[in-house]
Amino acid sequence: MPTHPIRALRASSFGAFAHVDLEFASGLNVIVGDNGAGKSQLLKVLYACTATLEESRDGALSKTTLSRTLASKLVGTFKPESLGRLANRQRGRARAEVRLKLGGLKEHLAFSFATNSRSEVVVASAPTRSLEDTPVFLPSRELLSIYPGFVSMYNERLLEFDETWKDTADLLGRPPLRGPRSEAARELLAPIENLLDGRVSEVGGRFYLEQRGLGNLEMHLVAEGQRKLAMIVRLVQSGTLLQRGYLFWDEPEANLNPSTLRAVAKVIDSLARSGVQVFVATHSVFLLRELSLLGASSGASDYMITGLARGPEGVVAAQAGSIQDLDLSYIRALEAEFEQADRYLTSDSSAI
Residue 335: alpha-carbon gap to chain centroid: 24
Banded model confidence at residue 205, pLDDT cuts 50, 70, 90: confident
Residue 324: alpha-carbon gap to chain centroid: 24
Are 113 and 95 a contacting pair, CB within 8 Å? Answer: yes
Query: Which residue intervals of the chain are DSSP H helices?
Result: 39-55, 63-78, 150-156, 163-172, 180-196, 224-237, 258-274, 285-295, 332-346
**pTM exceeds 0.85, yes or no:** yes
Architecture label for domain 1-133+245-345: 3-Layer(aba) Sandwich (3.40)
What pLDDT is recorded for position 300? Answer: 44
Cα–Cα distance, 66 to 50 (Å, whole number): 12
Cα–Cα distance, 13 to 125 (Å, whole number): 19
Across residues 325-347, what is the average pLDDT? 70
Cα–Cα distance, 149 to 141 (Å, whole number): 17
Helix (H, G, I), strand (E, B) or coil at 183: helix
Residue 252 burial (10 A CB sphere; 0-12, 13-18, 19+): buried
Q: Which amino acid is at 202?
A: E
Going by C-beta distance under 8 Å and a sequence separation of 6 or more, which residues neighbour residue 146? Answer: none
Higher-scoring residue by pLDDT: 1, 4: 4
For 162, the enclosing helix (H) or strand (E) is none
Q: Domains of the chain: which residue ranges?
A: 1-133+245-345, 142-243
pLDDT tens for residues 262-315?
889 999 999 999 999 999 999 888 888 888 888 766 554 588 899 888 777 777
**Average pLDDT over the chain, rounded to an integer:** 86
Are 281 and 251 a contacting pair, CB within 8 Å? Answer: yes
pLDDT tens for residues 134-168?
999 999 889 998 888 888 888 888 878 899 999 99
In terms of average pLDDT, the best of 39-48, 89-98, 319-328 is 39-48
- Least Cα distance to 45 among 240, 298, 229, 308 occurs for 308
Cα–Cα distance, 352 to 348 (Å, whole number): 7
**C-beta atoms surrounding 47 within 10 Å:** 23
